[in-house]
């Protein structure tokens, strides 16, 4: 569905080049829920922007390849890349943003915010506003959301309702790929669960691809089929979510999972000390070396490569594979 090959995407800033996504290779399959985890500033959101083909200066693709399989409607599948993917926003690939509080324009009605998401050459656009409104209203009814929200302004909706509206906005044209950037951040846990269930149900109904970015490992545990862990612009581990939670290979993944609270376990949670490195001038070798509890001599100057340690489970760490020292 989506193929990334050694993709490097950098921001040009006055302080230098920020290497936000640095050599990421992953295949995203159709009909799967892929989670992308990692702490703030590790490149998760940038990766999502690149997947969405929203490449605005200062962000640019430096090297590597990004391709998508686009069914052209005539039963054929075309390979499209950056610059072409954006032609099919919302009908092929859609985006559910973070921050339900501020992504909706406060002074125009919700329905008008739906109209703006219909691509210019989409057949719905030609049918006019009334037809789009009916379509959206029918879709909201399907999702068991009150149709009155269409006539409302954002300030009249609760945070959870806004996020539900955004999920509806992201899915009402039945896209093949839905990208969700921290869809449950800043919501209370009850609402979070509702949103996650909604996302999963929709994914199962439409049999499409859902990519969820979250720093919350609990969210990934609940909804992801596969999980990719990012650290400092690099993919450090990816594989089936079950395998990763059962057998976390990378020390960073292990620490992320250990930081989750468990029912019945009353011991103090241990955080990961230190902060991720600056992406303007990242360290040589393994980027996690400075914070790694299992750091070895050659970690600081030799970059680890992705290795398969069990079926479908890949990790990039010197603890595994033949040790070249």
Partner 1 sequence: MQFAKFVITRIIAYVLVIWIGITVVFFVPRFMPSDPVESMLGRIMTRGNYMEAEQVEAMRATLTQAFGLEGTLAEQYFGFFHRTFLTRDFGPSLSLFPTPVNEVIGRALPWTLGLLLSSTVIAWIVGNAIGLLAGYRSRWLSSRALEVIAIFVYPIPYYITALILIILFIHINPIFPLFFSIRGDPPSLEFISSVIYNSILPAASIVIVGFGWWVLSMKALSSSISEEDFVYFAKLKGAGEGRIMTAYVLRNAILPQVTVLALQIGTIFNGALITEILFGYPGLGTITYNAVLQADYNLLMGTISISIIAVASSTLIIDLLYPFFDPRIRQR
* CB neighbourhood size of 38 (10 A): 26
Question: Rounded to 5 degrees, what angle do the CA atoms 45, 49, 50 make?
Answer: 120
Instruction: Tell me: does residue 158 bind partner 1 (CB under 8 A).
Output: no
Residue (13 or 102) nearer to partner 1, CB: 102
In angstroms, give the least distance from the CB of 270 to partner 1. Answer: 34
Q: At what angle do helices 159-171 and 129-142 cross, to 10 degrees?
A: 120
Residue (115 or 245) nearer to partner 1, CB: 115
Instruction: Tell me: does residue 174 bind partner 1 (CB under 8 A).
Output: no
In angstroms, give the least distance from the CB of 43 to partner 1. Answer: 18
Instruction: Tell me: does residue 108 bind partner 1 (CB under 8 A).
Output: yes
Instruction: Tell me: does residue 97 bind partner 1 (CB under 8 A).
Output: yes
Given 13, 30, 79, 102, the residue binding partner 1 (CB under 8 A): 102
Instruction: Tell me: does residue 324 bind partner 1 (CB under 8 A).
Output: no
SS3 of residue 193 by DSSP: helix
| Placement of tokens 């399989």 in the chain | 69
Instruction: Tell me: does residue 90 bind partner 1 (CB under 8 A).
Output: yes
The pair of structure tokens assigned to 119 is 């691509």
The pair of structure tokens assigned to 121 is 């050459």
Cα separation, 300 vs 290, in Å, equals: 8
Instruction: Tell me: does residue 103 bind partner 1 (CB under 8 A).
Output: yes
Cα separation, 99 vs 186, in Å, equals: 7
Residue 59 burial (C-beta neighbours within 10 Å; 0-12, 13-18, 19+): middle
Side-chain-side CA neighbours of residue 107 (13 Å)? 0
* CB neighbourhood size of 139 (10 A): 18
Residue (53 or 237) nearer to partner 1, CB: 53
Per CB under 8 A, which of residues 28..57 are in contact with partner 1? Answer: 52, 54, 56
DSSP state of 89: B
Instruction: Tell me: does residue 120 bind partner 1 (CB under 8 A).
Output: yes
Given 29, 30, 112, 323, the residue binding partner 1 (CB under 8 A): 112
Instruction: Tell me: does residue 89 bind partner 1 (CB under 8 A).
Output: yes
Instruction: Tell me: does residue 92 bind partner 1 (CB under 8 A).
Output: no
* Interface positions with partner 1 (CB under 8 A): 52, 54, 56, 86, 89-90, 95, 97, 99, 102-109, 112-113, 116-117, 119-120, 153, 155-156, 169
């Amino acid at each position: 569905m989506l193929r990334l090959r050694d993709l490097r995407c950098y921001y040009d800033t006055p302080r230098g080049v920020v290497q936000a996504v640095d050599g990421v290779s992953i295949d995203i399959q159709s009909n799967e829920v892929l989670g992308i985890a990692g702490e703030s500033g590790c490149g998760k959101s940038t990766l999502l922007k690149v997947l969405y083909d929203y490449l605005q200066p200062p962000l640019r693709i430096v090297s590597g390849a990004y391709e998508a399989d686009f069914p052209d409607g005539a039963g054929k599948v075309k390979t499209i890349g950056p610059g072409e993917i954006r032609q099919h926003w919302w009908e092929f690939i859609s985006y559910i943003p973070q921050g339900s509080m501020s992504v909706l324009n406060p002074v125009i009605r919700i329905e008008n915010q739906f109209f703006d998401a219909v691509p210019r050459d989409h057949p719905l656009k030609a049918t006019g506003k009334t037809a789009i409104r009916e379509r959206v209203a029918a879709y909201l009814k399907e999702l068991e959301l009150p149709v009155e929200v269409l006539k409302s302004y954002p300030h009249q909706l609760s945070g959870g309702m806004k996020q539900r509206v955004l999920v509806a906005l992201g899915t009402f044209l039945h896209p093949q790929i839905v990208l969700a950037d921290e869809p449950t951040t800043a919501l209370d846990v009850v609402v979070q669960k509702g949103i996650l269930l909604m996302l999963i149900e929709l994914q199962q109904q439409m049999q499409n691809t859902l990519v969820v970015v979250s720093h919350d490992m609990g969210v990934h545990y609940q909804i992801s089929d596969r999980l990719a862990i990012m650290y400092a612009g690099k993919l450090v581990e990816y594989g089936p979510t079950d395998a990763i939670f059962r057998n976390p290979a990378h020390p960073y993944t292990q620490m992320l999972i250990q930081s989750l609270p468990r029912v019945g376990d009353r011991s103090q949670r241990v955080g990961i000390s230190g902060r991720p490195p600056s992406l303007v001038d990242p360290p040589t070798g393994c980027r996690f070396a400075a914070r790694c509890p299992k750091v070895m001599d050659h970690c600081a100057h030799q970059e680890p490569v992705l290795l398969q340690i069990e079926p479908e489970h890949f990790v990039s760490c010197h603890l595994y594979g033949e040790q070249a020292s």
